[in-house]
Structures are given as structure tokens and as C-alpha cells.
Amino acid sequence: MFPIYLTGLSGAGKSTIGPMLAGRLGLPFLDLDTLIEADAGRSVSAIFEAEGEPGFRSREHQALARVAQGPLAVVGLGGGTLLAEANRHLVEGAEVIWLEVSAETAASRLVGRTDRPLLRVGSPAATLAGLLVERQYGYHTAATRRIATDGLEPSAVAESLAAGLLTPRELACRFDGHEYPVRIVTRGMDSLHDLVGRLNVRHAAIITDQNVAPLYTSSVANVAQELGLKHSVHVFPAGEDGKSLSTVETLMRSLRAAEVDRGGCILALGGGVVGDVAGFVAATYLRGLPVVQVPTTLLAQVDSSVGGKTGVNLDAEKNLIGAFHPPSGVLASMATLDTLPEPVYRAGFAELLKHGVIADPALTTALTRNPDAIAARVPLALARWVRASVAVKRDIVESDPREKGRRKVLNFGHTFGHAFETASHFELSHGDAVALGMLVATWLGERLGETDAGTYEALHAALTAIGLPTDWQRRLNDRVLHHLLADKKRAGTDLDFVFARRIGEVDIRKVPLNTIQDLATAARSSGPA
């Protein structure tokens, strides 16, 4: 999303603490003065000499405007940057940290420095005291956090700031009057403690798959142990094939053998398959036990763990059998995403971005601007995006928990997405197929006047930044159209189709099937690649 800015007087420690903080957050550090110098090809002092302070301030404003549009980073501002209202406007909505320092301390830290043009005349301490009075208003109005740095080592300041920025974020979700927390953390599983503790159970039954079991079961089991609970572990084979009634039966027998009774709860540890299967087991075993979802794929964190849908497939029919069973809590730890295979990780962004397109343009922009943070799996960035994405899904689900109307907008990109997925015999992952499906929907929308011009291009840019496929035209063959039509014939000749009006707004429209088919056929020989 936005950069994290450091502000404060010269001598507050921005250029020392900034890189330390950035390192702890896994982000790059940028120093605004250094950017200005690189741009101008001369030092700040030389700019002051040649162009005066107005010349410098104008360059500073331009550099800040560029940084504000750039990727997520820790940015050290100049001591006077936030004096100008126009600059304060540019940092609005971002995290602005004010490193407070007394004039005396700042002066003592700057002894021997000659690169501060405003400190060359008179006593530095007196000048800094004057500057502080002048600038305090700007710091105060823009700051979202402040920390007094006098007497603290820079590393202690960086550590304290990092801890604050990495604090868990929590969202309250509701389902039919039942409220549950979704907690998003950057590391570890410690937060599971009180999510499980508050259930007042005696036995925690951990359900997971064979891939996830060796990675994270012990962390979850530790939490159960620390809470003094009996725990048992129930593992089934990974993959969509495991999402079956026979798995459910095997798991239920295993729960029975472990003597899980009504004093038990289920901990669903894994991706969407585990969440759906374990959630369904929790919904039906002993007529329902509480379940805490611990999603370990991006898809599960932003999509399947939130919203209360659980279930399994019946042969080739996806999710035919199921129940609404909202969780008692969700713990999404960004640390678990570290071990995801690259294609699974990337595919999860399709649903995350989908939520951006549905209702959060800032999320869409943030993804487009941050290919490096995406590739490096920066926990702070992921936590922000997951939170924003979950908030979109939550709001839609709350407005229509049982999918009678509005919840259908979550199917954006899925009409063609499912057709791509099926036609490829599931060689394309669901996420990749949804990425292509969103592009087709937007392309059609622009042709039908349902979608503002430029939306396709913006979506294409976001998908490219993420590294999801965009070559829908090449892939839109007869098989895909066949599956699209085969799937929809039963519903009559009109299709309920989800269009993006623009990035951040979608709508459902009835469209004659023929119109979609004709346009899709035409798209294969024309239009953007």
C-alpha cells in the first residue's frame, strides 16, 4: 500500500533508524534527500546554493509525489518536508512515524556535520529549537505514530517500531448473528492461544493434510499443550481428491477413536481443501463442534476460511455436499506462506485481487505497484493485503450470508474461470483460471458498455505485477466455450454475469447467452492479447 514515512528534526535519527526498521520489516529504505540529490545530480547544499530554498522545496515535492506512488518502502523524509500542506496531503492515509527528539540531543548528534544548510549559522541547538517550534505542527498533524528517541539506542527504536507495525490485526466477522475474530499475524502461531482458550474445550482435534502436517502441526499442538488440552492429530492425503465423503468418514472414525466428544473442538490446519473438509466434519460430527480455521494458503486466508461455507465434492461435482458452519475464530499467519510452492502462492493472489476489483481500488493499486514485495513474500505487505481482502469478503458475506443475491458478486471472473479450468482438465489451477476469467469478463464488459474504458488495462497490469497468466485469447478455444455453454444451458438463455463497472465496483447483469458467445468468438480473432 503506502510507504512508511519517518519524520522528525535533523538529528532525530531518520537515516540511522530508517534502514534498521526497513531491514526488520523486509522492505527497502529510501532517503528522500538522497533521491533529490540523485535527481538533481548535485548535493542538497549545492541545490540550496544554486536554486535557494524554494528550488529545493519544489524538487522535494516532486520526489515525494513519486515516492508516494511507488512500491512499499520505508522512506526517511527531510526535516522540513511536512511543513508544506501539499506534502502532508501526499502522505495522507500512510503510516507516518514521528521520531521525537529534543533540540539539545539533535544538536549533539549532529556535531561535526556540515551537510545541513539550515544549521550553518548560529548555535545548532538554538536553531534546532526554533525549527522544532516551526515544524511541530506539521509533524503533529501528519504523524500516525510517535516515539521519543532521547536516550534510546537507534536499534531499540527500530525494534520497538517494528514490533508496533507487525502487531496482529483483527477483523470481527459476523454470520447470522454469530461473531468471530479473524486475526492476521506476521509470524508464529501464538495468537492461537486465546482463540482456542476462549472456547472452553478439553480436547483439540487437529485436522490437516499430509503436506502441511510435518510443517506446522507441532506449533499448533504446542498451543493445545500450553492450554492444558488433550490433543489429537488427524491427517488425510493432500489435494482436491481428498475432498470427499470417504475422507470425511475416515476422519470421523479417527475422531471417535481418539474419543473426541462434545467437549472437543476442531482445528483446521491447511489450505482450502482442509478448511472445507474439516469445517464440514466440524459441522456434522456430534451435530456440530466449534472449529478454528488456521488457513495456510493465501487462497484459504482470503477466501475459504472466511464466510462459513464448508463441504466436499461428490465425484466430479464440486462442493455438492456441505453446510454453512462459520468458524469460532480464524488465525491467518503470514509465516505459513513461506513454505508454499510458488504456483500455489501466486494462484492465491487471484482471489485476493478479485476482492480488490470488487470493492477496494487501493488494494488493486497496491498489488500493481509491488511486484518485488509479492515475489519476496514480505510478511508486513502480505498482512496488509490479506486484511484488506478479507474485509471485502466479510462485508459482502455479511450483507448476504446464504448467497441469495449480493454474495454472487464474489463469482466475478468465475463464469469463464470455471470453463478455462474444466477445459484444461484442471491443468490450469483455479487461481490461474480465475485470473483469465476476470480478464475476459472485463474485456466483454468494455465491449458491452458495462465496464469503464481503461479497466481492462488496469486489471491486466495488476495480474502482470503478480505474475498471473493473462493470455486468455490464446486459450479461449472451442472447448472452453463448450464448457461455458454446457454449464449454463440449464439456466435458460440469459446468464447472470458479474461485470466490473470499474476497479472497485462490480454488478450483476443478465446477458443473453448468445451475446456472450458471439463476443467471445470475436475476441479470439481481435482485441488485446
Ligand X SMILES: NC(=O)c1ccc[n+]([C@@H]2O[C@H](COP(=O)([O-])OP(=O)(O)OC[C@H]3O[C@@H](n4cnc5c(N)ncnc54)[C@H](O)[C@@H]3O)[C@@H](O)[C@H]2O)c1
**Phi first, then psi: what are they for 75, rounded to 5°?**
-120, 120
Cα 395 to Cα 243: distance, rounded to the nearest angstrom: 28
Closest distance of CB 158 from ligand X, Å: 29
Q: Which of 276, 360, 432, 450 binds ligand X (CB under 6 A)?
A: 276
Q: Please compute, for residue 398, the number of CA atoms within 13 A of its CA located in the half-sphere on the CB side.
A: 14
Closest distance of CB 107 from ligand X, Å: 51
User: Which residues in the 303-322 window bind ligand X by CB under 6 A?
Assistant: 303-304, 307, 309, 318-319
Residue 239 sits in the site that holds ligand X (CB under 6 A): yes
Choices 92-100, 161-169, 298-306, 501-509 (CB under 6 A): range interacting with ligand X? 298-306
Show the cell assigned to 232.
489429537
Closest distance of CB 223 from ligand X, Å: 17
Asked whether the beta carbons of 459 and 412 are under 8 A apart, the reply is no
Closest distance of CB 312 from ligand X, Å: 9
Q: What is the DSSP string of 441-486?
A: HHHHHHHHTSS-TTHHHHHHHHHHHHT----HHHH--HHHHHHHHH
Closest distance of CB 421 from ligand X, Å: 11
3-state secondary structure of 102: coil
Summary count for the chain: helices (H), strands (E): 22, 16
Closest distance of CB 247 from ligand X, Å: 12
Closest distance of CB 4 from ligand X, Å: 27
Residue 393 sits in the site that holds ligand X (CB under 6 A): no
Comparing CB distances to ligand X, the nearer of 119 and 300 is 300
User: Which residues in the 334-373 window bind ligand X by CB under 6 A?
Assistant: 336, 339-340, 344
Cα 458 to Cα 440: distance, rounded to the nearest angstrom: 13
Comparing CB distances to ligand X, the nearer of 309 and 369 is 309
Residue 459 sits in the site that holds ligand X (CB under 6 A): no
Choices 6-14, 88-96, 265-273, 325-333 (CB under 6 A): range interacting with ligand X? 265-273
Q: What is the DSSP string of 115-148?
A: --GGGSSS-HHHHHHHHHHHHHHHHHHH-SEEEE
Closest distance of CB 348 from ligand X, Å: 7
Closest distance of CB 300 from ligand X, Å: 4
Choices 210-218, 251-259, 502-510, 515-523 (CB under 6 A): range interacting with ligand X? 210-218
Residues whose CB falls within 8 Å of the CB of residue 218, separated by 6 or more in sequence, listed in order: none
Residue 271 sits in the site that holds ligand X (CB under 6 A): yes
> In Å, how far are 111, 156, 509, 529 from 32, measured between CA atoms?
22, 23, 48, 39
Cα 322 to Cα 324: distance, rounded to the nearest angstrom: 7
Alpha-carbon torsion angle 335, 349, 374, 470, nearest 10: 160
How would you list the strands of the sheet with 230-236, edge to edge?
A: 169-175, 178-185, 329-333, 291-295, 264-270, 203-209, 230-236
Choices 107-115, 125-133, 167-175, 206-214 (CB under 6 A): range interacting with ligand X? 206-214
Q: Which of 110, 192, 235, 274 binds ligand X (CB under 6 A)?
A: 274
Residue 389 sits in the site that holds ligand X (CB under 6 A): no
Q: Please compute, for residue 230, the number of CA atoms within 13 A of its CA located in the half-sphere on the CB side.
A: 10
By CB under 6 A, how many residues form the interface with ligand X? 28
Q: Which of 63, 189, 300, 374 binds ligand X (CB under 6 A)?
A: 300
Q: What is the DSSP string of 274-315?
A: HHHHHHHHHHHGGG---EEEEE-SHHIIIIITSSSEEEEEET
Cα 502 to Cα 155: distance, rounded to the nearest angstrom: 45
Comparing CB distances to ligand X, the nearer of 339 and 464 is 339
329 closest CA partner among 366, 290, 360: 290
3-state secondary structure of 252: helix
| 38: enclosing H helix or E strand | helix 32-40
Comparing CB distances to ligand X, the nearer of 106 and 171 is 171
Choices 104-112, 141-149, 208-216, 396-404 (CB under 6 A): range interacting with ligand X? 208-216
Residue 258 sits in the site that holds ligand X (CB under 6 A): no
Comparing CB distances to ligand X, the nearer of 187 and 447 is 187
Q: Which of 142, 162, 196, 212 binds ligand X (CB under 6 A)?
A: 212
Show the cell assigned to 23.
531491514
Residue 196 sits in the site that holds ligand X (CB under 6 A): no
Closest distance of CB 239 from ligand X, Å: 6
Asked whether the beta carbons of 276 and 245 are under 8 A apart, the reply is no
Closest distance of CB 396 from ligand X, Å: 12
Residue 28 sits in the site that holds ligand X (CB under 6 A): no
Residue 186 sits in the site that holds ligand X (CB under 6 A): no
Residue 414 sits in the site that holds ligand X (CB under 6 A): no
Residue 161 sits in the site that holds ligand X (CB under 6 A): no
3-state secondary structure of 241: helix
Comparing CB distances to ligand X, the nearer of 304 and 364 is 304
Choices 114-122, 133-141, 292-300, 414-422 (CB under 6 A): range interacting with ligand X? 292-300
Residues that bind ligand X (CB under 6 A): 209, 211-212, 215, 238-240, 243, 270-274, 276, 296-297, 299-300, 303-304, 307, 309, 318-319, 336, 339-340, 344
